[in-house]
A and B are shown apart, each in its own frame.
Chain A
Amino acid sequence: QVQLVESGGGVVQPGRSLRLSCAASGFTFSSFAMHWVRQAPGKGLDWVAVISYDGSDKYYADSVKGRFTISRDNSKNTLFLQMNSLRVEDTAVYYCARGLEMATIMAAFDIWGQGTMVTVSS
């Protein structure tokens, strides 16, 4: 079945780094753009980053630009989010999500993982 499973979350001190992973299964991963979306405790959804199906295009929210890097390994059906210089305000559940239509970034998100919690605290 179509599935996304995030991993790599945890508790980290401000200024440190963390790498999240999202393992995809049940669909042709290399055909779809992929996104990271976060949700701070008790707050709304906050789009973080997107990568095109082939990794050639990447876009970031202003709040993470220069600190976070999205990447993918289509041979391993895995999406990544490298988070550097973490801040307290980056504390959130991080979801990976799939774009609904193949080969475009401009699509709604039809498949979501269960999320992984990142806590930035001293």
Chain B
Amino acid sequence: DIVMTQSPDSLAVSLGERATINCKSSQSVLYSSNNKNYLAWYQQKPGQPPKLLIYWASTRESGVPDRFSGSGSGTDFTLTISSLQAEDVAVYYCQRYYHTPPLTFGPGTKVDIK
């Protein structure tokens, strides 16, 4: 089975500081025929459905603030919030959507204000 892991499980960052979340896939999500990484990032706030932030590992969804950025390739990926705002308190999930299902989610990383 393909496993997605995230680190850390949780982190607390001061307002205006950088937050970094890591995601690792047990198998590559890079599709060689189009050189795209089939990796997405979602934000979920309490009582709300998830919201797509990043797809193709680094493409920001329309309307997502540019303080959110994604990077990485193959099996290792990072979501960075460059300057944490109060409204960014949430749980963040990575997800592989490569090839055939299952389209596995990572276990999530909780981000709080320090």
Contact = CB atoms under 8 A, between A and B. Distances in A.
B101 A44 contact: no
Nearest to B59: A108
Size class of B's contact patch?
Answer: 20 to 34
A103 to B, nearest CB: 15
Interface stretch (B13-21, B46-54, B78-86): B46-54
Nearest to B105: A45
B61 A110 contact: yes
A114 interface: yes
B40 interface: yes
Interface residues of A, number: 23
A50 interface: yes
A95 interface: yes
Nearest 6 CB-CB pairs, A to B? A108-B40, A108-B55, A112-B49, A59-B101, A45-B105, A44-B108
20 contacts: A35-B103, A37-B105, A44-B91, A44-B108, A45-B108, A47-B95, A47-B102, A59-B100, A60-B101, A61-B101, A61-B102, A106-B38, A106-B97, A106-B99, A107-B55, A107-B97, A108-B97, A109-B50, A109-B95, A112-B49
